[in-house]
């Protein structure tokens, strides 16, 4: 099993949060919030991918971990927009 260190998780969070802002046509929330969205997205994406039999985020290389985190962060953003009434701009 391949795990990521704290620096890798910060990199994954920042990149995933920034990419999610671009995908969801948002301007981002700033460095710390983008990182938080990316890290929570990694948890959501890891949960989904492990339940699909693909393994969690920490079981892949950096690029695949970012992809899984972005998928989770997009799902998180859609859920937040659903509850806040903000239109999802896909």
42 is a domain residue: yes
Q: Is residue 17 part of a domain?
A: yes
| pLDDT above 60 for 41 | yes
Residue 1 maps to a domain: no
Query: Does the predicted model carry a pTM greater than 0.85?
Result: no
46-53 contacts, C-beta under 8 A, 24 or more apart: 46/72, 47/72, 48/72, 48/75
Domain count, the chain: 1
Domain with 24 in it: 6-84
pLDDT interval class at 29 (50, 70, 90): low
Residue 86: predicted pLDDT: 62
Q: Is residue 89 part of a domain?
A: no
Do the domain assignments include residue 36? Answer: yes
87: pLDDT strictly greater than 70: no
Is there a domain that residue 55 lies in?
yes
């Amino acid at each position: 099993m391949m795990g990521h260190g704290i620096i890798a998780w910060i990199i994954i969070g920042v990149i995933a949060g920034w990419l999610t802002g671009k995908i969801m046509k948002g301007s981002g929330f700033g460095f710390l919030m983008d990182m938080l969205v990316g890290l929570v997205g990694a948890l959501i994406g890891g949960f989904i991918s492990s339940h699909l039999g693909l393994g969690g985020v920490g079981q892949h290389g950096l690029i695949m971990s970012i992809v899984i985190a972005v998928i989770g962060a997009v799902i998180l953003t859609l859920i937040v927009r659903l509850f806040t009434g903000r239109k999802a701009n896909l």
